[in-house]
Amino acid sequence: MRKFPAPIHNAIAALGKLPGVGPKTALRYAFALLRLQRGELELVARSIEGLKFVTTCQRCFTYAEATICDICSDQKRNQNLLCVVAEARDIATIEATGIYNGVYLVLGGVLNPVDGFTPDKLNVRELQERLNLDKDIREVILAFSPDVHGETTILYLSRMLKALGKKTTRLARGLPMGADIEYADEVTLASALAGRSET
């Protein structure tokens, strides 16, 4: 790599730690930052610096500004519904629908032993403890992506939750709006047929 002033090298090294950012992309980002006005650059720097004040909610394990997040502390939320998601960012996606009004638990990933994601590395024990302590929870929604690791996680958690006597549901699967049946794979089409609804 070409020799640049130390601050540029440091920025490239730091940006390279982000997922999906290789050396060339990090270099491009660093030069894009250099083109910003001083005030804009300071705003970006302050925003990144502010991330050190973000903590993890002690109840649901999402990112928050306090020890208990806004959703967990909101008494208007339906405390009988618990939605288990893989990552904290999944909560924002579900909240954007405006449909769900329950509470959450972030598992911290999905089961993937090859990459080191085993039950002891995820918040599986914490999920069990929460369900044992909070008898008001009547239904647990497993909201995972319908890929191999998501399905494995759903299967594993379903067995555990059945042993605890909790009603367990999962997100519906099938054809998305605007999809063409001709291009749908067999698994998606089978799920759409199995989950069909009356018109």
User: Same domain, yes or no, for 82 and 155?
Assistant: yes
d(CA 160, CA 167): 11
pLDDT digits (tens, 9 = 90+) for 105-125: 999 999 999 998 999 999 999
Distances (CA, A) of 35 to 10, 39, 82, 163: 17, 11, 46, 58
d(CA 167, CA 136): 12
Confidence band, pLDDT 50/70/90 cuts, at residue 199: low
User: Same domain, yes or no, for 68 and 33?
Assistant: no
Judge whether 189 lies within some domain: no
Q: How many domains does the chain have?
A: 2
**Encoding tokens for residue 88?**
């904290």
pLDDT digits (tens, 9 = 90+) for 120-165: 999 999 999 999 998 899 999 999 998 899 999 999 999 999 998 8
Judge whether 97 lies within some domain: yes
pLDDT digits (tens, 9 = 90+) for 62-107: 999 999 999 999 999 999 999 999 999 999 999 998 999 999 999 9
Buried b (16+ CB within 10 A) or exposed e, 51-65: eeeeeebebbbbebe
Judge whether 180 lies within some domain: no
CB 153 within 8 A of CB 111: yes
User: Same domain, yes or no, for 134 and 86?
Assistant: yes
Residue numbers of the domain that contains 24: 6-53
In the prediction, which pLDDT does 146 show? 83
Judge whether 98 lies within some domain: yes
Does position 11 have pLDDT exceeding 60, yes or no?
Answer: yes
In the prediction, which pLDDT does 87 show? 97
User: Same domain, yes or no, for 136 and 152?
Assistant: yes
pTM of the model: 0.83
User: Same domain, yes or no, for 105 and 154?
Assistant: yes
d(CA 62, CA 180): 36
As a whole number, the mean pLDDT across the chain is 92
Judge whether 196 lies within some domain: no
List phi, psi (to 5°) of 159: -65, -45
User: Same domain, yes or no, for 102 and 150?
Assistant: yes
DSSP code per residue over 70-104: HHHH-TTSEEEEEEEESSHHHHHHHHTTS---EEE
